[in-house]
Chain A
Amino acid sequence: MTTLSYAVSDSATMLRRNLKHALRYPSMTVSVVAVPVLILLLFNYVFGGALGAGIGGMSTGGTRYIDYIAPGVILMAATSGALATAVGVCVDKTEGIVNRFRTMGISRGSFLTGHVVGGVIQTMISVALVIGIALLMGFRPSATPIEWLAATGILALLALALTWLSAALGLVAKTPETASNTPMPLQFLPFLGSAIVPPESMPTGLRWFAEYQPFTPIIETLRGLLMGTPIGNSAIAALAWCLGLSLAGYLWARTAFNRGAKV
């Protein structure tokens, strides 16, 4: 009983520490929000005319391009937000405070839990900001409140999965620079899926990749929930990917944390 209450209170202490960092040094959070906002502006206003016309005849669920890309860019916000955790975890590791926590009689999981929960909260805030900006730019989702709730749920689940992966990457990275670079490919994966253009428009090899990579079913589910496009079995695939990645990231991070001090 006390073990559990200590685990909760230690994790809450770590979460407070994490949120205090974010409030006091918001530059990371700002850059995490800025990237998807820039992508949204760039693809809607600069490339939007040509791309929107080019994919007009495909299964985009609407005639307006903003309605097609907004769900994809919202997902990018969830991705880039989650990956910021790698940097935070790695900074703590290289500054030695992780070793201090390891030698203290505290709940073993609290350090990572604090980072991950803090990361998910920050990510969801930046997701909300990006949704707000998309709405200002004319994004008109047709979702019911239930569908909004489901969309929020799938985004939170994705954020959780990527944040655990990111925490593990932060623990195994040697320097904060590596920790910030390693997850970069993950941030570009949505581009190679159905975030910006439908996979049907891509060459065969790439299309195959786009259809089977984890982000595509998640984007399709999100788009289905927000815009009413067909979801099909994307929802099951999206849930499976999110839960699988969460578990893998969690186990990896735990092992990396328990493996002990750096040599």
Chain B
Amino acid sequence: MTASSATALSPAITAAGLRKSYGDKVVLDGIDLSIPEGTVFALLGPNGAGKTTTVQILSTLIPANAGEAHVAGHHVTRDADAVRAAIGVTGQFSAVDNLLTAQENLILMADLHHLDRREGRRRAAELLRRFDLTEVAAKSAATFSGGMRRKLDLAMTLVGDPRVIFLDEPTTGLDPRSRRIMWDIIRGLVADGVTIFLTTQYLEEADQLADRIAVLDHGKLVAEGTAEELKRRIPGGHIRLQFADLNGLESAAALFGSVTRDTEALTLHIPGDGGIPALRAVLDVLDDASVEAESLTVHIPDLDDVFLTLTGHPRSGDQAGLQKENAR
């Protein structure tokens, strides 16, 4: 009971040395987390990095093999029921009841949270309105599109007014418009003071939503910080020159010394911050030597670069990135 007074000050989620393996396969290899209340934390990583496993452990679905974790001030295994009472989870695969209508799904949640009948109906109506689902309230969830299902799923999670919300890849598989809508909804939740633990494989999503980002790779956290901090950790941007043929590329490469060249794409990457003096200098060098470039692009580091630099490999499924690496 003394813990409750400390809860207000302590972080919403902490973890120390979380480990999980299935047989020989190590999924999580020592995860430490400390997430302050009222913030959005993004766990970023490719498929199979261990994101979902982390969420499953923190949301009491599976036990860790080693390590300790507390959510909302309660131990995830020793006091699992108290954790469950404080959290809401929206998983990667929509957990809605397909045979019930949207409204019935919400009222089912209200009943399970032991809200009285009137309060339950009021909450359901309010969430339907907030998530723009009022018109389809009486339709069975089986008829919903992916975006609508995800909205209903999140609405169901919110019925119990959770203080900590886990969102496991909330926008995977959604079209761009539905993704924007989800982002707006998530921003709205933060405004209400809840803590959000988000997993995503989209760097842009983490950049847009999260206060702090941790990069998970092969079961280990390889970096943690704000989006700005992470971007600062990697080599600066570059100026990318595209040439018409190999001759142009080779003669330009000789002019600039230590640069990255890609003979297949006929491009040259010149490190630099992309500012106007740097640009002018590059153009002057090319002019003086009468070397002609087809095009010039300025590349400011984004989280994709962070990811490549930190994990040492491109995002899974990123074939273009893979080829670029091989070409180097």
Residues of A at the B interface (CB closer than 8 Å) are 6, 9-10, 13, 16-17, 20-21, 24-25, 95-97, 99-106, 260-261, 263
Contacts and interface: CB of A to CB of B under 8 A. Distances in A.
Given A20-B104, A103-B84, A103-B89, A96 B111 contact: no
22 contacts: A13-B108, A13-B112, A16-B111, A17-B108, A20-B100, A21-B100, A95-B93, A95-B95, A95-B96, A95-B98, A96-B93, A97-B95, A97-B96, A99-B61, A100-B89, A101-B112, A102-B61, A104-B84, A104-B112, A105-B85, A260-B62, A261-B61
Interface string B70-100: 0000000000011011010101011111111
A104 B63 CA distance: 16
Nearest to B156: A100
A105 B62 CA distance: 15
B178 interface: no
A22 B91 CA distance: 27
Contacts of A24: 99
A99 B95 contact: yes
Contacts of A25: 99
A260 B95 contact: no
Contacts of A106: 84, 112
A163 to B, nearest CB: 19
B200 to A, nearest CB: 19
A183 B284 CA distance: 79
Contacts of B10: none
Interface residues of B, number: 30
B interface SS class: loop
A interface SS class: helix
Interface centre among A17, A97, A103, A104 (most CB of B within 10 A): A103
B263 interface: no
Contact of A96 (B22, B60, B95): B95
Given A13-B111, A24-B99, A95-B98, A261 B62 contact: yes
Given A13-B108, A104-B160, A105-B84, A96 B114 contact: no
Nearest to A260: B62
A100 B95 contact: yes
Nearest to A13: B111
A105 B89 contact: no
Given A10-B112, A260-B63, A96 B99 contact: no
A25 B99 CA distance: 8
Interface centre among A16, A25, A95, A97 (most CB of B within 10 A): A97
Nearest to A94: B93
Contacts of A261: 56, 61-62
A101 B85 CA distance: 12
B87 A103 contact: yes
A197 B27 CA distance: 57
A21 B99 contact: yes
Contacts of B39: none
Contacts of A95: 93, 95-98
A15 to B, nearest CB: 11
Nearest to B52: A261
Given A97-B95, A104-B160, 10 more contacts: A9-B111, A13-B108, A95-B93, A99-B89, A103-B84, A103-B87, A104-B113, A105-B85, A260-B63, A261-B56
Contacts of B54: none
B112 A96 contact: no
Contacts of A260: 56, 61-63
